Amino acid sequence: MSRTDANPSGRLPDAFTTPGTASFVDFLSSYAPELLPGNRALPAGSWAAELSAPHGTTIVALVYEGGVVMAGDRRATMGSMIASRSIEKVFPADEYSAVGIAGTAGLAVELVRLFQLELEHYEKIEGSLLSLDGKANRLATIIRSQLGLALQGLAVVPLFGGYDLDRATGRIFSYDVTGGRYEEHDHHAVGSGSVFARGSLKKRWRPGLDEVGAVAVAVEALMDAADDDSATGGPDAERAIYPVVATVGAGGYRRVPDGDLAAATDGVLAARRAARGGDPR
């Protein structure tokens, strides 16, 4: 255990046996609040501007026939420097949902861990899965608890997508730093390259996309973002570093293998070469 408790017998403290909550965050805030990322004391002042911590960048998500695709590039930046070219920013939240993160990478990864645990904890205690709206609301609560850090400049902005087992469709939720939760229709992007990615998604997304088509659209949107945003990394065939692309459908979370992503990337490049008609620009 992470703390000494008043009971010398070594029995599990009362907080463990108190019935009532199936939420790990609620349990943690009553038993060990210092472990919650939002509860740490911060030095006063506007130090965040000088602080250089890695930032994650672009995440895109789109709905296809029977699920949702979420994709994130692999770059993390620290000012004008590339902090990492192989960071992963798209994670399974549970079996039927995925979460992608943009913003301060260290905090974001910690929040994802907490969110994954929150869903698993509920599932184990209640013996059933949360509804997709329930999961989206729990993520909003976790983001809201970070407001203090966000005001200091260490914002984390997630994108949440999942397969709604009740409605049998894929759905996407976006968030703002205050914990506001908004359901998005068809497609959405967050992060520094999101402006360009959204433009690309608007042109390429169409109703009734299949899974392979949706993965290609996601990869192309990330390539468009990487074209114009210095903080977004494009597919790197030389090092075999491709975006993390995940599909979530009735069969659950599935990470798209690099081989398929290489093929999708080649497809986009070939189409662009053909459109230029051999003109080397």
Q: Which residues bind another protein (CB under 8 A)?
A: 1-2, 9-12, 15-17, 19, 24, 27-28, 31-32, 35, 95, 113-114, 117, 120-121, 123-129, 250-253
CB 160 within 8 A of CB 184: no
Nearest approach, Cβ of 40 to another protein (angstroms)? 15
Residue 55 C-beta: closest distance to another protein, Å: 24
Q: How far is the CB of 27 from another protein (least distance, A)?
A: 6
If the CB atoms of residues 126 and 266 are measured against another protein, the closer one turns out to be: 126
Nearer CB in complex with another protein: 94/220: 94
Residue 232 annotated to the active site: no
Residue closer to another protein (CB basis): 8 or 208: 8
Give the amino acid at 71: A
Is the distance from CB of 32 to CB of 78 less than 8 angstroms? no
Amino acid at 49: A
CA angle, residues 240, 242, 246, in degrees to nearest 5: 140
Residue 62 CB, nearest approach to another protein (Å): 21
Q: Measured between alpha carbons, how far is 91 from 103 in angstroms, rounded to an integer?
A: 15
Residue 130 or 189 with smaller CB distance to another protein: 130
Alpha-carbon distance 137 to 181, whole Å? 7
* Residue 101 or 114 with smaller CB distance to another protein: 114
Catalytic-role residue among 17, 18, 21, 57: 57
User: Residue 123 or residue 176: which is nearer to another protein going by CB?
Assistant: 123
Q: Least distance in Å: CB of 29 to another protein?
A: 12
Chain centroid to Cα 239, Å, comes to 24
Q: How far is the CB of 90 from another protein (least distance, A)?
A: 17
| Residues belonging to the active site | 57
